[in-house]
Structure 1
């Protein structure tokens, strides 16, 4: 039985063209996009489709929406293009059946197949064991043996594949990564901060010419002070030196000087000169910048007073605020890229050294610490930073493109290409996403070919077939 799955409007237009002396074409009546939907295409596109089956209509050679049911010529003398069954774009499988029937003898094509039943051309849950027409006069679509397996596999003709733009690709094993973009601030490395303080009461006699923000080097002189307690300990040490050098090294006077924080160089000078110094010079304990200067000449400093606060900014921390829902993708040692507004175009590379074990109640974020090398000192404390943290593992996993996954919210589906125009929806379990890829944990294997374009159309066809199979049990024609 000859079947052409066309919309009511397109079928009526074609029949009018055949019966009325090409009335549609001569009058220039345009059916928007109809020619393209029914199989009309350029010569270049035709060459990519295997043409087979009977001629079902003729289209304008320039692709205009002008059609004819019989051969005809355009105004310039060129013949209309014949559209065969395999090129017809429809949801039925008549084109495939016609192509099989038209296969030459001796080929590997399967012989005539048995018709199981006929289904409604508009997709309604209505089947018939014998040929019939619907209320619009459209033929019911034959379902052949082997096409209705009770599953969700659907067949699509080569012409329809060409027109709908179905594209496929192979599932591959590769790492999946996705950058986490979060804000952060530059902070000092707590391990690189030092203070200059006295361990006894003292009077400040001289302060070096350094102020807050200046850079100092280890051993650089900062202050000169007089401390009665240090002077007394030095005098006792000198007495022990005069009595016996050996016992002096074992006595408590030297240890007392060290406990008071007297520099080793000053103790060596006492041993060399055998004199008690009136003042002691305090030096910088490390390289860095002066964060605080709390000292002035002539002032009295009490025990434990902080006179200078220094920090080494050769390495700094960037504290990034990562949302709670992103914590699962962050790992210790992950690479991180930091950008600051004051250094446009510059990128600072580091890695995650710590994920703080606390979530903020107000912002629902967790701080992540990133260590950044800062040899030029361009990163300053409290700078705002834009942080990009690499997430995901480095191990390869089975992946497909983002566009291959149909996500309904409750389930995820991928369309598998079984070859020869057969497609099967497959429910999958997905994992991480990143760089346009989705990890497939279950449902798809490496090497499977999946649909990445027009997969919604195939899924709709599969759902329609499943609905028809469950809502109406067909009677088998014998």
Structure 2
């Protein structure tokens, strides 16, 4: 065998060995891939399912295109958290800093139950005077008054001629001349029974003359709401001549949301501010909480009585009323930490394990940027006060379970 032939055979053997080694490696690699666990990536991360970010609630077993949008399905890994993986939501430290996430602890404190509601000034319906004719007769004169006029107590309204009074006075003077005290007392009592004022009776006693003419005067000061007196008309006993509403005190009817109905009680102090008098507060107290609620606004009417010195408070004026009581102890968190979904309230907890966990709470009163937590939190637990809405959105996408309320809390 020549040296050339030996060299050719040597080269062919080396080439065959290389091909066999390459084919074996390829076969082993293919076998290794086929033996790899289903739902795992080359770096060992376990895939739970695939999903469309636009429709995160729909899960798919295999990768591919979304049937909803023209986009590839995204894998959901077990180490990203969620119901089937490690609980909680993990946020990169750099992302936390860029989001400005702030964590505060729930702490015991005092929260004043003071809140503002709107109201309007109205007449005090307990301070109303009705002026009537005590006996039948005639209306001789009406003084120059009209509805809406503000008058003082004792202002003359009308002059009446009452024939029944004249005859009763004449009878009284006749009995008085008899000198019999018991008959005189009975005749005087009859004058009182027909509605004659003590001043008129005293004038008859002093002068000894009868007079069926009487001037009707306003018993209180205030606003004339109605004036039915017209000169020359015939009057019946008990006929209304005028209606007067006093202005010494006024009512402030405030619209109280029914959710805060338990925070207000009769006798409670209140403070009102009116745009007509900037920088001035009017003190009053709650005199009534009306028993019915407005169906359209779901509010209760709180009636507050205010002193009206100088008659400055006029019915129809708008006011802002501060209602509430003394401060009460409560478990408090910043109001921005509470996520209200409409059906429940949620906070994002920071347990110190590098993850954030949603928890359901029952929120109570609010004031001064703080919210009272009635159930769902314990003192010292830390909640996210800023950036929590992004965490809540991520928790909804991943289907992360929310910590339920503890009946013992």
Q: CA deviation at 1:326?
A: 6.1
2:227 paired residue number: 293
Q: Is the 8 A contact 2:113 2:328 kept in 1?
A: no
2:329 paired residue number: 396
1:255 paired residue number: 189
Q: Is the 8 A contact 2:220 2:246 kept in 1?
A: yes
Does 2:390 match 1:452? no
2:111 paired residue number: 175
Does 2:48 match 1:125? yes
Cα distance per residue 1:376-402 (max 9 Å; x no partner): 223333x25254453688423212112
Given the superposition, is the C-alpha separation of residues 409 and 290 from structure 1 closer, same or farther in structure 2, using an over 3 Å criterion?
closer
Q: CA deviation at 1:439?
A: 1.7
Q: Which has the larger radius of gyration?
A: 2
2:338 paired residue number: 405
1:219 to 133, 137, 154: 154
Does 2:371 match 1:438? yes
Does 2:205 match 1:282? no
Structure 2 gaps of 5+ residues are 1-40, 50-76, 80-84, 402-409
Q: CA deviation at 1:266?
A: 1.5
Question: What is the RMSD of the two structures over their aligned residues, measured on CA atoms?
Answer: 4.4
Measured in 1, the distance between the counterparts of 2:328 and 2:290 equals 26
Q: How does 1:4-15 map to 2 (within 5 A)?
A: none
Given the superposition, is the C-alpha separation of residues 271 and 426 from structure 1 closer, same or farther in structure 2, using an over 3 Å criterion?
same
Measured in 2, the distance between the counterparts of 1:321 and 1:142 equals 53
Q: Is the 8 A contact 1:198 1:261 kept in 2?
A: no
Q: Is the 8 A contact 1:401 1:452 kept in 2?
A: yes
Q: Is the 8 A contact 2:287 2:304 kept in 1?
A: yes
For the residue of structure 2 that corresponds to 1:276, the secondary structure is coil
Q: How does 1:308-457 map to 2 (within 5 A)?
A: 308-321=242-255, 327=261, 331-333=265-267, 338=272, 348-360=282-294, 366-381=300-315, 383=316, 385-388=318-321, 390=323, 394-418=327-351, 425-456=358-389
Cα distance per residue 1:180-230 (max 9 Å; x no partner): 544x54332121111221121122344445444444333344433321111
Q: CA deviation at 1:310?
A: 1.7
Cα distance per residue 1:137-158 (max 9 Å; x no partner): xxxx998xxxxxx874678787
Measured in 2, the distance between the counterparts of 1:443 and 1:295 equals 68
Given the superposition, is the C-alpha separation of residues 223 and 170 from structure 1 closer, same or farther in structure 2, using an over 3 Å criterion?
same
Cα distance per residue 1:334-358 (max 9 Å; x no partner): 5555566666676544444323223
1:232 paired residue number: 167
TM-score by length of 1: 0.56
1:165 paired residue number: 100
Measured in 2, the distance between the counterparts of 1:279 and 1:426 equals 83
Cα distance per residue 1:12-39 (max 9 Å; x no partner): xxxxxxxxxxxxxxxxxxxxxxxxxxxx
Greater share of residues in strand: 2
Given the superposition, is the C-alpha separation of residues 119 and 376 from structure 1 closer, same or farther in structure 2, using an over 3 Å criterion?
farther
Given the superposition, is the C-alpha separation of residues 394 and 157 from structure 1 closer, same or farther in structure 2, using an over 3 Å criterion?
same
Measured in 2, the distance between the counterparts of 1:418 and 1:169 equals 12
Measured in 1, the distance between the counterparts of 2:221 and 2:46 equals 80
Given the superposition, is the C-alpha separation of residues 270 and 423 from structure 1 closer, same or farther in structure 2, using an over 3 Å criterion?
same
Cα distance per residue 1:53-89 (max 9 Å; x no partner): xxxxxxxxxxxxxxxxxxxxxxxxxxxxxxxxxxxxx
Q: Is the 8 A contact 1:199 1:261 kept in 2?
A: yes
For the residue of structure 2 that corresponds to 1:295, the secondary structure is coil
For the residue of structure 2 that corresponds to 1:229, the secondary structure is helix
Q: CA deviation at 1:440?
A: 0.7
For the residue of structure 2 that corresponds to 1:190, the secondary structure is coil
Q: Is the 8 A contact 1:240 1:247 kept in 2?
A: no
Q: Is the 8 A contact 2:254 2:321 kept in 1?
A: no
Cα distance per residue 1:213-249 (max 9 Å; x no partner): 4443333444333211111222233234333474256
Measured in 1, the distance between the counterparts of 2:162 and 2:213 equals 7
Q: Is the 8 A contact 2:164 2:212 kept in 1?
A: no
Structure 1 gaps of 5+ residues are 1-117, 127-140, 144-149, 469-478
Which segment is superposed worse, 405-414 or 326-335? 326-335
